[in-house]
Amino acid sequence: MDFSSVLDPTHWSALLSGLKVTLLVAFSAIILSFIFGTILGVLRYTRIPVVSHLAIIYIEAIRNLPLLLIIFFGYFALKDWGVQIPIALSVIISMTVFTSALVAEIVRSGLNSVDKGQIEAARSQGFTYTQTLWYIIMPQAMKKMIPPMVSQFVSLLKDTSLAVAISLPELTHAAQIIYNSKYNATIPLLILVSLIYFVINYCLSLASRYLEKRLAG
Amino acid sequence: MLRCINRLEEISSGELIVDGFKVHEPKTNINLMRQEIGMVFQHFYLYPHKTVLENITLAPIKVRKIEEGAAKKMAMELLEKVGIPEKANSYPSQLSGGQQQRVAIARGLAMKPKIMLFDEPTSALDPEMIGEVLDVMRTLAKEGMTMVCVTHEMGFAREVADRVIFMDEGRILEQESPSQFFKNPKEERTKLFLSRILQH
C-alpha cells in the first residue's frame, strides 16, 4: 500500500473538486426533493380524489425501482430525447425524482401520526382544511419527520457515488481516476474518501439531533 | 348529536338548522358556521406546539382576522375568567388536566361563539379536578351562554340545565326539565339509568 499518494497535493485538489461536485449535486437534490417530496406527501395525505391517486402511483412506482436505474434513465433517456444537459444536472434530476418519493412517505406518515382530535379541534374553530394543515398539523408532524428525513438525505449524499456509473466527476470518481493511474494507491484513497463521506454525514446527523431538540423545546 | 351540530359527524338524513345555518346541506359554509360554535372535547385537544396564550389567540387571529394585540388582551381576560392567567406562557403539556380543560374552554370562548358545545368535558379528568371545570361552566351558564353539554355529572346537570335530554343508542328517549327528569322519568330506560347512576 502506498500512502504517499494520499498526501500528494495535486491529488488533493482533484479530490476537492470531486467533493465540490458531490456536495453540489447532493444539496441541490436535497433541497429539491424536500420541496417536491413535501408537496407529494401532503397531496397523498389529503385524499383529494384524482390528485392523491396520482401521487400514490408515482410514489409506489419510484420507491420500488433501484436508484441506479433511475440515474441511467435520467442520463440516457434525456440524451435520447435530444435534451442536452450537463451530467450533474441529470443526476440532480434523477436523485430528486427518487428521493421525493421517499420523502413523500416520510411526510405522509408524519402527518398521519398527529392525533385526529387535533383536526377536529381546529375545524370546530372554523379553520379551513388548508389552514388546519398549515397551522396545526404540519408543525406537529415536522418534529417527527426530521430524523427519518435526515437519514434519507444522508443516504442521498452517499448514493451520489452511484453516479460514477455515468462518469459524473464527483468524489468517488475523482478517487477512481487517481488510483487507476497509480499503483497500490487504491486502498489508501478509498479510506480517505470514506473518511470524507463519514465526516460530512456525521455532521448532518448532528445537525438533525440539534434541530430535533430545538423543536421539542 | 353534539357532533352533528357543527357537522364533525356527517349527517346522513334529516334536517338540522343551527342559528339559521342549514347544517345538513353540503353547500352551507360550514367554516363560517363553526366560528359561531365553540367546542370543548373530552381529551382537550389543545395545540401542543403552541403556548396557552397562542392556543387561545390562534383562531381569532387567523380565522376572525382580529388584530394580534387585541386578541392577546382578550385571551388574558379569558384566562383571568377561567382562573389561570399565570399559565399564559406555559405549554399545554405543563398543565394539569383540569387546567388544560379550562384553557380549552377559554379557547372556545375566544371566538365569541353564540353556542358552546361540551363533549364529556370532565370524563377524562381526575376526580379532584372536575370541580374547577364545572365551576367555570356554571359561571358561563349563569352569564346566559347557550350551552349543550354531554355529561355524566348528574348533580351538575340537575343544577345548571334548563333542559335534560336522555339518549340511548343514538336516539333521544326523553326530553324534560331537570326537576321532571330526575323526579318523574317517564321511560323505563330512563328509570333504569337513574336508579343505577344515583346509587353511588
B13-65 pLDDT tens trace: 888 888 888 888 888 889 999 999 999 999 999 999 999 999 999 999 999 99
Residue B200's pLDDT is: 56
Q: What is the mean pLDDT of residues B162-170?
A: 91
Out of A124, A126, A140, name the one closest to residue B48 (CB).
A140
Q: Is the pLDDT of residue B182 over 70?
A: yes
Are B35 and A136 an interchain contact pair (Cβ–Cβ within 8 Å)?
A: no
Over the stretch B68-110, which tens digit does the pLDDT of each residue have? 999 999 999 999 999 999 999 999 999 999 999 999 999 999 9
Q: Which helix (H) or strand (E) holds A139?
A: helix A138-159
> Which residue on chain B is closest to A129 by alpha carbon?
B31
Closest by CA position to B197, among listed B182, B177, B187? B182
pLDDT of the residue at A78: 85
Domain count for chain A:
1
Which residues of chain A neighbour B117 with C-beta distances below 8 Å? 124
pLDDT in tens, B146-159: 999 999 888 899 99
Chain A CB contacts of B8 under 8 Å are: 120, 123-124
Query: B44 to chain A nearest CA, in Å?
Result: 8
CA B4 – CA B39 distance, rounded (Å) = 12
Per the CB < 8 A criterion, the answer to whether B32 and B97 are in contact is no
Domain that holds residue A65: 3-216
Under 8 Å between Cβ of B61 and B71: yes
pLDDT category at B199 given cuts 50, 70, 90 is: low
Q: Tell me what pLDDT residue B141 has.
A: 92
Residue A152, all three cell numbers = 434519507
Yes or no: say if A119 and A137 are a contact pair by the CB < 8 Å rule.
yes
Residue B191: partners with Cβ closer than 8 Å, 6 or more residues away: B185
Provide the pairing of β-strand B21-22 with B37-40.
Answer: unpaired
Q: Tell which of B40, B58, B111, B116 to mutate to test the A interface (max A CBs under 10 Å).
A: B58
CATH number of the domain to which A144 belongs: 1.10.3720.10
CB B162 within 8 A of CB B189: no
Which positions of chain A have pLDDT values less than 50? Answer: none
Under the phi-then-psi rule, with left for phi > 0, alpha for psi from -120 to 50, and beta for the rest, what region is B169? left
Which amino acid is it at B106? A
Residue A121 is nearest to which of B45, B62, B64, comparing CB atoms?
B45
Instruction: Compute the distance between CA of residue B104 and CA of residue B108 in angstroms, rounded to an integer.
Output: 6
Chain B residue with Cα closest to A141 = B49
The CA distance from B22 to B29, in Å, is: 9
CA dihedral A87, A207, A113, A62 (to 10 degrees): 10
Task: Report yes or no: A22 and A160 within 8 Å, Cβ to Cβ.
Answer: yes
Q: A77: which DSSP letter?
A: I
Question: How many Å apart are CA A115 and CA A101, to the nearest integer?
Answer: 24
The minimum CA-CA distance between A26 and chain B, rounded to whole Å, is: 32
Q: Distance between CA B86 and CA A116 in Å, rounded?
A: 29
Quote the distance between the C-alpha of residue B194 and its chain's center: 23
CA distance B140 to B149: 12
* CA dist., res. A185 & res. A175, Å (int): 10
State the Cα–Cα distance between residues B26 and A111, nearest whole angstrom: 26
Cell representation of residue A51: 390528485
Contact B39 A124 (CB under 8 A): yes
Residue A196: the pLDDT is 93
Q: What pLDDT, on a 0 to 100 scale, did the predictor assign at position A160?
A: 93
Within 8 A of A124 by CB-CB distance, chain B residues are 6, 8, 34, 37-39, 117
Q: What angle do CA B19, A136, B58 make, to 5 degrees?
A: 60
Query: By C-alpha distance, which of B127, B4, B104, B112 is closest to B50?
Result: B104
Smallest Cβ distance to B58: which of A123, A124, A135? A135
